[in-house]
Structure formats: C-alpha cells, structure tokens
Amino acid sequence: MAELRWNPLLQTWTMVASNRQDRPQLPKDWCPFCPGSGKVPDQYDVHTYDNDFPALTPMPEKSDSPQSGLYKIAPNYGKCEVVLYSPNHHSTLPSLSVDHIHKLISLLAERYQILSQDPKVKYIFQFENRGEEVGVTMPHPHGQIYAYPFLPQKIQVELDSCRQHYQDQGRCLICDMNQEEMQSKQRIIAENQSFLAYIPFFTDYPYGVFIVSKNHKGNITEFDEQERRDLALMLKNITGAFDQLFDKLFPYMMCFHQTPVNSDDYQDADDYYHFHIEFYTPLREANKIKYYASSEMGAWAACNPLAVEQTAEMLRRAYVKVVNMQEEST
C-alpha cells in the first residue's frame, strides 16, 4: 500500500509507504550503490537514480483504502531519488575534495531545476541521513531528494513566519538572523565569502548548525560558481568538524530548506524566504543521544539539554583543527 492520508488535526498529509519495509538493512557483502552492482554505472563521480523503495512515485497505484469527508486519501504522486556522493563505499562528505563536492552541488541544482518543471510537484526536499543513530540502512555515502505533491508542514510554518516578518519589518527574517548572529559572534562556527555557519540562538539540538547564504537567494539554482564552491567548502569543513568533535563518525540529518515550486500561495517566496541548510544532530556527548521524547514529539515543545553558546565554542575549536590539518597536508 502506498498513498497519502490527510491528517485533519494538523492539516497536513501523511505518506503511507508499506513497500519501504522491504528495503535492505546494512548489507555486509553487497552494495547496490557500488560500481559493479548492476544498479549504477561502472564509472561515476556523482550520480542520481530512482529510489528502489519510493514513498512517492510518478505512477501511483489507485488506492483501495476507504475514505470519508473527514479522512481523505490522495495518490502518492511525486519522485524519490537517491544521490550518490562517490563510487567509494567508505567515503564520507568531509573526505571528498572541494571539487568533488562542487560536482555534487551542481547535480543537486540540476535535479532541482528538472523536478520543478513538473507542475504537480510543490516542494523539492534535498537531504542526507548519516549514521545508524538516525536510521540509515545503507552505509554508502548518499543523500536523497523527495519531490512532494504538497508543501511539508515545517516548511510552510517557516514560510509563513518569514512572510509575516517581511510584511511587518520590510526585511527577510533569515537575513536578520544572519545579522543578529554576526553581531553576537558567540554562536558563529565559520564563514566564507558566500556562507555563514552558526548554531542559532533557538535551536533544539546541541550541535544543530545552520549553513546560511549571505546573499538573499531562495534556492540552490540561484548560486553562481563562486557560491557553489564556497558552499562545497563549508559543507566539507562543517561535517569534518562534526567528526573531529568526538573523534568518531558523527550522525546527522542534513536538510536543505529552499523556496517552494509551482505554488500559487507562495509565488512571491523569493521576496522573503532564504536558502539555508539545517543539521539535526542527535549526539549531545560522544556516547549520549539527545532523544526526541514525549515533550518534543507529543507537544512540539522543544528542549535543548545544552546551551548553544557552549556547544558552539566546542564545535568552533573542532572546525579550526580541521582547517589546520588541511593546511598542513597541502
């Protein structure tokens, strides 16, 4: 069974995808993402292909589930793609060169542009899950792209907040966040010509970094070559700092937040919404997980167990170590 089910309490859709129960669980002796598997080209740098176990599909089956005026059902139309970072099974994002990550960013921009041409697609979500702590079933370095036929609720809340701020203040909320963080400096991890990385004042994860464009741009297709390269460098070094922090592979969820597509309600989003990447990082110490428990899940009342001014200082030191090691090796 695969379909969308309407949640009348939260006014959003739930994806039902029973087929995902069959996806492989951390196979030890075979990887479909490695060259020679028959699933991917024998040679590639970065590559995308359709997810074998999609929650969304351009050819949805007709649902047999009953529905009523209260409980609505819709086809699970959309697209789910896998984005392979490297043919090397043991690579990680920080182990890749800046040139290689630049190719990855260019591929993400290309897929965003292509998927946005489908008028049924309303939001393109690019993300990476890393580590068993966040439920990763395939260790080969990869991300994913979901092309939704609806606007996910969290993105809609961000858009509405940004639009309200723009109407009230005449400015972009995320531009103002950048300015506030730059003035404080306590939570800034790094910056380059085009991007800032900081742990926002309000985030609920101890190491929940945001990477934010300095320029007011809505999505990845708007970046020029310098911005793409600066983003590649920032991604390499921030994820490298995560690994340096506790001297281990650091689990995270990396989520690209960008302007919606084909949306009548948010057709002016470029005026008030702003590209950024949010990291959700479950570790609070080397061997302690920050769980999303009843308050967070049941009431959406977030609680951060550590002050981000403290964790920002720790991550900043790790970032400096990573940069120094790179300079010493060149």
Sketch out the chain's domains with CATH numbers.
2-329 (3.30.428.10)
Please report, in angstroms and rounded to a whole number, the separation of the first and last CA atoms in the chain: 53
pLDDT, residue 22, reads 59
pTM for this entry: 0.96
* Three-state DSSP class for residue 116: coil
Per-residue CA distances from 45 to 91, 96, 179 (Å) = 12, 11, 37
Q: Looking at residues 105-118, what average pLDDT do you find?
A: 98
pLDDT, residue 179, reads 98
Residues with Cβ within 8 Å of 174's Cβ and at least 6 positions away in sequence, in order, are 162, 212, 273, 274, 276
Q: How confident is the model at residue 24 (pLDDT cuts 50, 70, 90)?
A: low
Integer Cα distance of 76 and 112 in angstroms: 19
Q: How confident is the model at residue 26 (pLDDT cuts 50, 70, 90)?
A: low
Q: Is 21 a residue whose pLDDT tops 60?
A: no
pLDDT, residue 113, reads 98
For the annotated catalytic residues, the residue numbers are 142
Per-residue CA distances from 64 to 28, 75, 120, 148, 291 (Å) = 37, 11, 22, 21, 36
* 44 vs 20, residue with greater confidence: 44
- Pairing mode of beta strands 12-17, 2-7: antiparallel
Per-residue CA distances from 303 to 279, 289, 296, 310 (Å) = 16, 13, 7, 15
Q: Is 19 a residue whose pLDDT tops 70?
A: no
What would the pLDDT profile of 42-98 be if each residue is shown by its tens digit?
999 999 999 988 999 999 988 877 888 899 999 999 999 999 999 999 999 999 999
- Token readout for 208 is 């929940």
Q: Most confidently modeled of 100-109, 288-297, 320-329?
A: 100-109
What would the pLDDT profile of 165-210 be if each residue is shown by its tens digit?
999 999 999 999 999 999 999 999 999 999 999 999 999 999 999 9
Q: How confident is the model at residue 263 (pLDDT cuts 50, 70, 90)?
A: very high
Extract the runs of DSSP E, i.e. beta strands, from 30-141: 47-50, 73-74, 79-84, 123-130
* Three-state DSSP class for residue 64: coil
Q: Is 226 a residue whose pLDDT tops 80?
A: yes
